[in-house]
Structure 1
Amino acid sequence: MRTEKEVLSQFKEWAERNELIRAAILTSSRAKPDANVDFLSDYDIELYVSDLSKFKKSDDWLEEFGAIMVRWPFKPRSTGFKTGCWITRLVLFKDGVRIDFQITDQLKIDSDAYDNGYKVLIDKDEITKGLSKPTYSEYIIKKPSKEEYEVLVNEFWWNAYYVPKYLWRDELPFAKYMLDYTLKYSFLHKIIDWYIGMKNDWSVETGAFGKKFKKYLSSETWKEFKETYAGADIEENWNAFFNTITFFRKIAKKVGENLGYKYPDQVDKEVIQFCKKIKETKKID
């Protein structure tokens, strides 16, 4: 696999030769001085070009960087990366190097556009000249308001009862969706974020989908979190479900107590009773 020096040197040589490329900015982990970068880390590059149509029509230009294994989207298109006219080309090359290109013909950049870190690779027209020094604060966990806390903890319990409903029916796909996606990513991950933020004076970030949870949680708390996961066995998922709600309650109460927000004990109690009743109810053949 090519080294970072080789990848960026190759890219800069190509960009210098290509008149359509007016500027290029490296972002994400490889642009952060304290980031943990390994051989699987992507190269996130934003291209500012004079004519976007050339990049919309064909991916031929990507062959400059090596043989392609797979790309996304399959055809050039906007993926809602930013407002305005951008197209996305995420590319995994056969040697394992991955480059994520975001491309635009908007040649004016807001001064705070790259507050979470950047490195200017190419700038032929000085359009990056006014960029502010990054504060790396864009993804720092923010303290929730009373309303945000109350909405999250109450809506968790509304969604929680779906899991036993579909486990009891032996409809595993729906139960897994509610347990592993809705409860975890919409609710449990958020409360863990707030817990970690609270423990670290609201000065850290945990990365996408909780990838840094292990770094910030104690070994005991991390063990409890892992026990919210399960395979495909129905009984295993029942255990994971009850571990999930127990863990959620523990973390949510600690956050609420710290911030002076009220946890919905009665809602918790009544939903738990109903969930247990579902599990204990025998099916009639």
Structure 2
Amino acid sequence: MRTEKEVLSQFKEWAKRNELIRVAVLTSSRVRPDANIDFLSDYDIELYVSDLSKFKENDDWLETFGSIMVRWPFKPRSTGFKTGCWITRLVLFKDGVRIDFQITDQLEIESDAYDNGYEILIDKDGITKGLAEPTYSEYIINKPSKEEYEVLVNEFWWDAYYVPKYLWRDQLPFAKYMLDYTLRYSFLHKIIDWYIGMQNDWSVETGALGKKFKNYLDAETWAEWEETYVGADIEENWIAFFNITTFFRKMAKQIGKKLGYEYPDQVDKEVMKFCREIKETKKID
């Protein structure tokens, strides 16, 4: 696999020769002073070009950087990366190097556009001269408002009862979706974020999809978190469901107590009572 020096040197030589490329900015983990870089770390590069149509037509230009293993999206298109006109080309090359390109023909850059870190690879027109120094605070966990907290903890209990409903019916796909996607990613991850933020004076970030949770949770709490994961067995999913609700309750109550927000004890108790009744109800053949 090519080294970072080789990858960036190759890219800069190409960008210098290509008149369409006006600015290239390296972002994300490779420009953060606290990042742990390994051989799987991507190169996130934003290109500011004079003619976007050339990059919409085909991917021939990517062949400069090596043989392609796989790419996303399959054809060049906008993926909602930022407001305005951007197209996305995420590319994994056969030697294992991955470069994520975001490309635009907008040649004006807001001064705080790269508050989470950047390195200017190419700037042929001085467009980036006004960029502010990064504060690395873009993804810092913010303390929830009373309303944010109350909405999240109450809506968790609305969605929670779907898991017993579909486990009882032996409809595993729906139950797993509610358990492993809705409850986990829509609610529990946010609660864990708030818990970690609260424990660290609202000064840290946990990364996409909780990838840094293990860095901040103590061993006992992490072990409890692991117990919320399970495979396809119906009975094991019942156990995971009760584990995930217990974990959510524990963290949500601590956050509420610390911030002076009211936890919905009665809703919790009534929903859990109903969930246990569902589990104990025998099916009639």
The TM-score, its normalising length taken from structure 2, stands at 1.00
After the TM superposition, which residues 1-285 of structure 1 pair with which residues of structure 2 at under 5 Å, given as runs?
1-285=1-285
Q: Alignment partner of 1:263: what SS?
A: coil
Q: Alignment partner of 1:203: what SS?
A: coil
Cα deviation digits, residues 5-34 of structure 1 (max 9, x gap): 100000000000000000100000001111
Q: Alignment partner of 1:26: what SS?
A: strand
Cα deviation digits, residues 241-262 of structure 1 (max 9, x gap): 0000000000000000000000
Name the CA distance, whole Å, in 2 between partners of 1:33 and 1:135: 11
Cα deviation digits, residues 162-192 of structure 1 (max 9, x gap): 0000000000000000000000000000000
Q: Alignment partner of 1:193: what SS?
A: helix
Name the CA distance, whole Å, in 1 between partners of 2:242 and 2:33: 41
Name the CA distance, whole Å, in 2 between partners of 1:249 and 1:186: 15
Q: Alignment partner of 1:151: what SS?
A: helix
Q: CA deviation at 1:89?
A: 0.2
Q: Alignment partner of 2:47: what SS?
A: strand
Name the CA distance, whole Å, in 2 between partners of 1:264 and 1:34: 38
Letter in 1 for 2:52: L
Name the CA distance, whole Å, in 1 between partners of 2:121 and 2:57: 25
Letter in 2 for 1:18: N
Letter in 2 for 1:196: I
Cα deviation digits, residues 40-95 of structure 1 (max 9, x gap): 00000000000000000010000000000000000000000000010000000000
Name the CA distance, whole Å, in 1 between partners of 2:284 and 2:31: 60
Letter in 2 for 1:19: E
Q: CA deviation at 1:119?
A: 0.4
Name the CA distance, whole Å, in 2 between partners of 1:148 and 1:94: 45
Letter in 2 for 1:47: L
Cα deviation digits, residues 206-229 of structure 1 (max 9, x gap): 000000000000000000001001
- Runs (4+) of structure 1 moved beyond 3 Å? none
- Aligned residue pair count: 285
Q: Alignment partner of 2:276: what SS?
A: helix
Q: Alignment partner of 2:82: what SS?
A: coil
Letter in 2 for 1:56: K
Name the CA distance, whole Å, in 2 between partners of 1:117 and 1:257: 35
Q: Alignment partner of 2:134: what SS?
A: coil
Letter in 2 for 1:217: L
